[in-house]
């Protein structure tokens, strides 16, 4: 049951980049409305689940995770604008690789040799996705899109690590922490929206905001509630491999719906990045702690 829930949630969020592209709004505006429209639904779900009264420290930690998510969404939406939905989502899922490196810096968890060897290879794949300045590379700005995609992956990894700590040791349902994270993301998204000078895109328009409502209710609410519920109940290797379904599906949807004409070098980059992500997911990102370590 947990496996089916996780897979269903991953299929739902695989359409996220599609809804963002169909909305055709400024990147910061689409990120802001994604979390804003999800807030009232999550608030009602939280009240129905009866998860109120969480420790204030954990609530603030979840909100901080949401702020990282806001940065991730803004970078990811920029990447979608510059290199398309499929490539942007492949790059964002480099988080599987970067989680080990971020954990090494913040928590002194040593990355595996596989991670250390794979990262440089994956960066070659990122360079190929950027098009390397080739005229046949797909995207309005392939190099900037690749840089934004890698930045999205780094902040996504940070979000996952902080959000994991916000839920550590809690037996409650996932809706409460997700509500706090979404509230933190909404506040941060508003600040980023104003800083980007895109406040003029706040006025609701049709059908753009119809797609954003679908994005909020589908990805931010249904998709993430299913994933957050299921992942702690599955083995780490299995969850990591399941998450690889998202970029693969998004590339498929992008080809079917938008016919994004990737250059041969970019397809090679996609294969290298997805292969590197799969290898790290299979072998693990960090070494297990030794018995004599604290």
212-260 residue pLDDT tens: 999 999 999 999 898 877 766 665 545 656 677 788 888 889 888 888 7
Report which listed range, 136-140, 163-167, 211-215, is most confident. 211-215
pLDDT band (50, 70, 90) for residue 170: low
Indicate if the alpha-carbon torsion angle 128, 130, 131, 136 is positive or negative.
positive
38-58 pLDDT per residue, tens: 999 999 998 887 766 778 888
The contacts of residue 190 (CB under 8 Å, 6+ apart) are: 32
Average pLDDT over residues 163-185: 80
Using pLDDT thresholds of 50, 70 and 90, give the confidence band for residue 104: confident
Mean residue pLDDT of the chain comes to 83
Domain boundary assignment for the chain: 2-283
Q: Rounded distance, CA 241 to CA 102, Å?
A: 20
Q: How far from each other are the two terminal CA atoms of the chain, in whole angstroms? A: 36
Which pLDDT band holds residue 121 (cuts at 50, 70, 90)?
A: confident
Alpha-carbon distance of 222 to 239, in angstroms, equals 18
| Number of alpha carbons in the 13 Å side-chain half-sphere of residue 232 | 16
| Residue keyed to tokens 């807030």 | 39
Token code pair at residue 192: 């980023």
Three-state DSSP class for residue 171 = coil
Contact 17, 214 (CB under 8 A): no
- State pTM to two decimals: 0.84
Helix (H), strand (E) counts: the chain: 14, 0
Residue 163 class from Cβ within 10 Å (0-12 exposed, 13-18 middle, 19+ buried)? buried
Q: Which of 19-28, 59-68, 256-265 has the lowest mean pLDDT?
A: 256-265
Q: What is the pLDDT of residue 292?
A: 45
């Amino acid at each position: 049951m947990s496996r089916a829930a996780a897979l269903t949630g991953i299929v739902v969020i695989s359409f996220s980049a599609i809804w963002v592209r169909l909305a055709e709004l400024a990147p910061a505006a689409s990120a802001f409305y994604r979390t804003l429209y999800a807030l009232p639904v999550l608030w009602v779900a939280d009240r129905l689940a009866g998860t109120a009264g969480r420790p204030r420290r954990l609530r603030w930690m979840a909100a901080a995770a949401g702020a990282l998510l806001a940065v991730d969404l803004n970078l990811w939406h920029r990447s979608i604008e510059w290199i398309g939905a499929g490539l942007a989502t492949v790059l964002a899922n480099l988080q599987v690789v970067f989680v080990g490196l971020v954990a090494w810096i913040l928590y002194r968890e040593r990355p595996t040799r596989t991670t250390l060897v794979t990262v440089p290879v994956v960066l070659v794949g990122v360079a190929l996705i950027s098009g390397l300045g080739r005229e046949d590379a797909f995207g309005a700005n392939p190099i900037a899109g690749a840089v934004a995609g890698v930045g999205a992956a780094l902040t996504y990894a940070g979000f996952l690590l902080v959000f994991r700590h916000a839920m550590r040791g809690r037996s409650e349902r996932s809706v409460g922490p997700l509500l706090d994270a979404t509230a933190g993301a909404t506040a941060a998204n508003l600040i980023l929206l104003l800083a980007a000078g895109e406040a003029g895109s706040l006025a609701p328009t049709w059908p753009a905001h119809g797609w954003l409502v679908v994005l909020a209710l589908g990805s931010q609410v249904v998709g993430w509630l299913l994933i957050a519920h299921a992942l702690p109940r599955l083995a780490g290797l299995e969850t990591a491999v399941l998450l690889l379904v998202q970029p693969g599906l998004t590339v498929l949807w992008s080809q079917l719906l938008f016919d994004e004409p990737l250059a041969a070098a970019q397809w090679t980059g996609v294969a290298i990045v997805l292969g590197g992500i799969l290898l790290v997911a299979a072998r693990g990102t960090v070494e297990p702690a030794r018995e004599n370590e604290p």
